[in-house]
Structure 1
């Protein structure tokens, strides 16, 4: 199966981006054609993955600044047709997006994802090598929280340092003995001050939401408390262990 990665160009291809968003996320938060085309023409990027003439994935990002004024590429959206999620289309798109940002002399790309989604954590943190030290509460609503039983849309904001990460991953043998921040769902965060900590999440949060909404809600607020406490203590997420469904955090100054 040959997959071609290239910028979106035609009206039909931009419309295909709209349709792919609806397929992946529904109708509520579709980035429309007029915004996609404007960003593409003004220093941003709308990059597509094609099989023949059919769009099967795309990424969308734009030039932005960090809080301290550093220029960066803000990656807002990445979508892949559901039946192709295990075919490395997403990884190829992100790698191509990296090359685009490097060509603009940028060293940093950021984006957000739900920290309770193990699949996304594995891809963003373990595979791509992004790090995280920022927790954002309820980015997309609802307001007030939990209206109609909808969970708050909390997110990790990750940093993907495109040349070299400022923080290295610890060795596996050190991670294995690191204490858990959350040995119990009912206990407060256990921030020990150790140089390495682990934070566990459900292995399949989507299924948990479907079958036990009250447990999903408990996990949302539990991980929020744990991550915020860890980041306040200057810990940084540097890896994700898929087999254990655990984040690995380090304290750079320890």
Structure 2
């Protein structure tokens, strides 16, 4: 069965065979040298109130999301989101996150947090531009040295805050833009490389310099009280304002 034959089904993972399939999917997406979340750990966390769900095409797992409770009631940490290369272009990243949102809201969870590499434009476009998360916290080299697709670069991360009870989330569900044209034009801009993953492979020195430039500019903006609320994908840049449109950072 090919990806184009039918629509993937998204549901919670069931049984160790599917949790082990999620391990294999991680190696496929992030590379064999990257550390994977063990299947037995995901199974136990799911049993204790976490989320482990997948997108299935027939019996094949082609995407998954993994999240767990935090010390703060009503807040979930989303640890992993992955889609196999063969299934990209189907909007599965968005569909998995919306499944996660519905899952959370049914359980009274209205705030989801996760980290992501600030230089990877597709992730930024999904997290900030489409889902409506915001960001105001920057972690330098958060995970230390990493392998797989993250090898050769500092593991800097932005903390994405996704509020499921505000105006931005309503815009997300409606497929609407997070910023008006006037708001985007007035926003402070931090330029992003158009293809950091490619740059890391072909010119590691320039990739490292871009990492440091963006780190310094984002940290300075956050220190000045600005918050990331948008992404321009045409002329790649973060868009920052003094406070988010619905008052939730």
- In the superposition, the TM-score normalised over structure 1's length comes to 0.84
Higher helix share: 2
**Offset of residue 230 of structure 1:** 0.6
Q: Deviations over 1:108-147 (max 9, x none)?
A: 001111111111111111111111001011011129xxxx
Does residue 111 of structure 2 align to residue 120 of structure 1? Answer: no
In the TM superposition, what is the alpha-carbon distance from 1:166 to its structure 2 partner?
7.6
- 1:135 maps to which of 127, 138, 158: 138
CA contact (8 A) 2:132 2:168 kept: no
Q: Which residue, 58, 70, 81 being the options, matches 1:78?
A: 81
Partner-residue secondary structure (3-state), 2:161? strand
**Corresponding residue for 2:200?**
209
1:175 paired to 2:177: no
Displacement of 1:171 after TM fit? 2.5
4+ long deviations beyond 4 Å:
165-170
1:39 aligns with 2:45: yes
After superposition, residues 131-210 of structure 1 pair within 5 angstroms as: 131-142=134-145, 150-165=152-167, 169-176=178-185, 178=186, 196-210=187-201
Q: What is the deviation of 1:233?
A: 1.1
Is the aligned partner of 1:25 residue 2:30? yes
- Per the alignment, residue 20 of structure 2 pairs with 15
Match of 2:175 in 1: none
Give the superposition deviation at 1:12.
Answer: 1.2
Mapped to 2, the partners of 1:171 and 1:78 lie a distance apart of 28
Over aligned residues, Cα RMSD in angstroms?
1.9
**Does structure 1 conserve the Cα–Cα contact (< 8 Å) formed by 2:29 and 2:85?**
yes
Tell me the equivalent position of 1:235. Answer: 226
3-state SS in 2 of match to 1:34: helix
* CA contact 2:19–2:42 (8 Å) conserved in 1: yes
| Partner Cα distance (2:153, 2:7) in 1 | 39
Q: CA shift at 1:11, angstroms?
A: 1.7
Q: Structure 2 length normalisation: TM-score?
A: 0.86
Measured in 2, the distance between the counterparts of 1:2 and 1:247 equals: 33
- Say whether 1:57 aligns with 2:63: yes
Q: Map Cα deviations across residues 3-40 of structure 1 (whole Å, 9 max, x no partner).
A: 11110012211111010000001233100011001101
For 2:195 and 2:15, the matched residues in 1 are separated by 38
